[in-house]
Amino acid sequence: MITVKQALAEVLNLVSPLPSETVPLRQASGRTLAAPATARRDQPPFAASAMDGYAVIGLEVEPDAMFKVIGESAAGHGFDGEVKAGQTVRIFTGAPLPKGATRVVIQEDVIRNGDLITLRRNLDENPYIRPAGADFKSGDQLVPPRLLTPSDIALLASMNIDQVTVTRRPVIALMATGDELVMPGENPGPDQIIASNNFGLAALVEQHGAEARMLPIARDNRASLEAAFALCEGADMVVTIGGASVGDHDLVAQVAGDLGLERAFYKIAMRPGKPLMAGKMMGIPMLGLPGNPVSSMVCGHVYLLPAIRAMLGFPPEPRPRLQATLTCDMPANGPREHYMRARVQAGQITPFERQDSALLTVLADANALLIRPVDAPEIGKGETVDYIPLG
């Protein structure tokens, strides 16, 4: 058996960053920046008022001082002239500061009478000016790799960037295998169950920036498996579900081998999800996940998501772990790293009692995988443990 870390390193070895493509800004949220995005202007592009008020020469500001209003500067419509001694320009938030002015007195500190204003006694000392380029300057960059958030999208817009270079979405071909499977909505025979792993994994990879190509269920015979593999052409990764164990009925590895899979077959010191197949077939990275529902989803989190991130251009590394405080005592762990379905709330983590890897109800109620390292000693309530968030 090899460790989870070793197995993940083998999987990450198979993949490399994908080419980029250009998308409109409106579609860039959730995508991964693949090339530097360079600001095409300063922001603000001019010194601007931070408040509604009156632009004046700062040195002239004192209690009871009077100024003559000579014009107005509004957002989108600056004042063309210059503010000179004893003069002021009515100004609004975000509007360009007129030439000559060095300070904005907020309107609450002013008494206006026709074209004249008089300052009040207790004046706010803030000049309320946003200098040109205070947010960013022309040429400033967002650098890849970067998963673009809604705030990033707002920033890119303000940089006047309407097209963004992002990594192409990895296409993940998902192949559920087994004579026992039927699709949801079909009528299963007495010995059959409903294919669920392919649906769950499709949702999972799409949630993390990939595109799922769901293949027809491959049956436990050579012709059906070959037909399914033929539909993987052009995918960036092939994920088979089931048939990764050493059972007599596991044809998947044989057929993939005949189709050119340079294969490694791993037994991993891991619960759930011991068997894993990994290799390249016709140049396409392939990952063989166990058919057990919970095992395949857990392996999706532990192996497939890091592979997708690596294809998107992020460093090849395990999923980041978070920390939470145990709400109960836990016994020592055995020789396999245990990914336990758990519930985190407000920094407290509680593993579910039932950890059988066949229980999708427990997985669906979980929002975390609590990680128990190999041979971890018993641990008490209140101690800190690592987890991977689900959801």
Restricting to residues 93-122, which ones interact with a copy of itself according to CB under 8 A? 93-96
User: Binding string to a copy of itself for residues 261 to 290, with x set by CB under 8 A, is what?
Assistant: ------------------------------
Is residue 387 within the footprint of a copy of itself (CB under 8 A)?
no
Query: Binding to a copy of itself (CB under 8 A): which residues in 124-183?
Result: 130, 134-136, 140, 142, 149-163, 178-181, 183
24-53 binders of a copy of itself (CB under 8 A): 25-26, 29-30, 41, 43-46, 48, 50, 52
| Minimum distance from residue 74 beta carbon to a copy of itself (Å) | 5
Nearest distance from C-beta of residue 132 to a copy of itself, angstroms: 11
3-state secondary structure the chain: CECHHHHHHHHHHHCCCCCEEEEEHHHCCCCEECCCEECCCCECCCCEECCCEEEECHHHCCCCCEEEEEEEEECCECCCCECCCCEEEEECCCCECCECCCEEEEHHHEEEECCEEEECCCCCCCCCEECCCCCECCCCEECCCEECCHHHHHHHHHCCCCEEEEECCCEEEEEEECCCEECCCCCCCCCCEECCHHHHHHHHHHHCCCEEEECCCECCCHHHHHHHHHCCCCCCEEEEECCCCCCCCCCHHHHHHHCCCEEEEEEECEECCCEEEEEEECCEEEEEECCCHHHHHHHHHHHHHHHHHHHCCCCCCCCCCEEEEECCCECCCCCCEEEEEEEEECCEEEECCCCCCCCHHHHHHCCEEEEECCCCCCECCCCEEEEEECC
Q: Which is nearer to a copy of itself, 281 or 359 (CB)?
A: 359
Q: Does 75 help bind a copy of itself (rule: CB under 8 A)?
A: yes
CB nearer a copy of itself, residue 284 or residue 305? 305
Task: Tell whether residue 241 is a contact of a copy of itself (CB under 8 A).
Answer: no
Q: Which of residues 293-352 bind a copy of itself (CB under 8 A)?
A: 293, 297, 300, 322-323, 346-347
* Cross-strand partners of 53: 91, 106
Could you say which of 222, 249, 267, 381 contacts a copy of itself (CB under 8 A)?
249
Nearer CB in complex with a copy of itself: 153/284: 153
How many residues of this chain interact with a copy of itself, rule: CB under 8 A?
96
Query: Taking contact as CB under 8 A, which single stretch among the options 23-31, 109-117, 232-240, 261-269 is the one that binds a copy of itself?
Result: 23-31
Q: State the burial class of residue 298 (Cβ atoms within 10 Å of its Cβ: 0-12, 13-18, 19+).
A: buried
Give residues 54-73 in contact with a copy of itself (rule: CB under 8 A): none
Would you say 26 or 381 has its CB closer to a copy of itself?
A: 26
Which one, 85 or 354, has the nearer CB to a copy of itself? 354
- Report the C-alpha gap between 209 and 34 in whole angstroms: 13
Residue 89 CB, shortest distance to a copy of itself, in Å, is 13
Q: Which stretch binds a copy of itself (CB under 8 A): 58-66, 260-268, 328-336, 363-371?
A: 363-371
Q: Does 74 bind a copy of itself (CB under 8 A)?
A: yes
Name the residue nearer to a copy of itself (CB basis): 43 or 333. 43
Among 192, 224, 350, 355, binds a copy of itself (CB under 8 A): 192
What is the closest distance, in whole angstroms, from the C-beta atom of residue 52 to a copy of itself in the complex?
5
Q: What's the CA gap between 67 and 38, in Å, rounded? A: 42
**Residue 245 binding a copy of itself, by CB under 8 A:** yes
Find out whether 217 and 183 touch, Cβ atoms under 8 Å.
yes
Q: Which stretch, 63-71, 110-118, 327-335, 355-363, contacts a copy of itself (CB under 8 A)?
A: 355-363
